[in-house]
Structure 1
């Protein structure tokens, strides 16, 4: 076998698997602690087209966990930095970026009709619900990341249907809201670890009393890698 950038991957999934990934189109909503690592893994796996969506810029507090966050990238748009990183890894990958918030009204403009998979790595509940409703209605495979904040054990993550989850507070909210809307299923990556109570002071948001969730370097990336593995296995057709 002639060596190429995906030679090691081909040994695992074969040429047919590589071709399926090369011809696939995946949309990733959110380029943060989870989404950045989803995109990293999908790029290195050989996904042919990546559509990445995020309206945010890199901030100082992203340095502890986000793959694109360095002192050199602070204040730069996440999708721009991620696009540059993708092309530094895979020159063949077609990258489409959207600097926008996810709203019920713009989802159809972002997700193409020939999309093979959608990854929800955002933290806004209303947007997560809208994505779940849209993808089920249009029969588009979707995996949604549940809460990774205030978690410390990366081994506690697993993949399940949202209606089979427990412990995770965000999954509980999603179950309630999706049931009201008639959404019958949603594949999620979630943790059964009980959230750690934040101990820092001065971390509440300036405009509200809401506590900013804590995070650590080795938790969100694991959730992102698990989500990416589900996407690749589903596209290639590997049972798990």
Structure 2
């Protein structure tokens, strides 16, 4: 990945403050996310990692500061974001949908909700399931899958949307070490081959680090609140930057 061109700035956060109720949980956040990079967000439990991810996606708006998001790619096409929330894979044993049907629902945003499924949709379903190693399970009921397998089909559904930015919140939940490594390898390959941008909240940093470009660490600021205080380069082609007031 070294030497890859990262020309398009997808998200820029300047002096962002956000909180719940009357209490700020993120302060003085200054980060940027560029196209074609694999970024991890890490920190202790309760460090507002999911909140930061939602601010990046625009699911939350800051109390103060600025979040600028690109709307178009360099070729003029619309940017698409995919999101896999934490613990999305809590389907019970009676969940009726097949794996292929669930992943197919990720293609619905490509056109009218009333349009018929076409060959391109089916191609995307197969491609997405193969990318996460779940194609052979396409006809199984979701409720029959293990926790790690459910996480992988949620990732496949997000990939079927053909996103430019993929936001993942603890995607390795329920996976063993081998499955986690395989997922990171596949994501890294998509970053290199397709220019996908991945922003991933994770506690499994030692397993993920060989595949990452940068790590954004959330650390406590003073007596309360959290902030992005360091951005660490993993590949040698970013300059580490302290993020401060």
Name the one with the larger strand percent.
Answer: 2
Higher helix share: 1
* Greater length-normalized contact order (CA 8 Å, ≥ 6 residues apart): 2
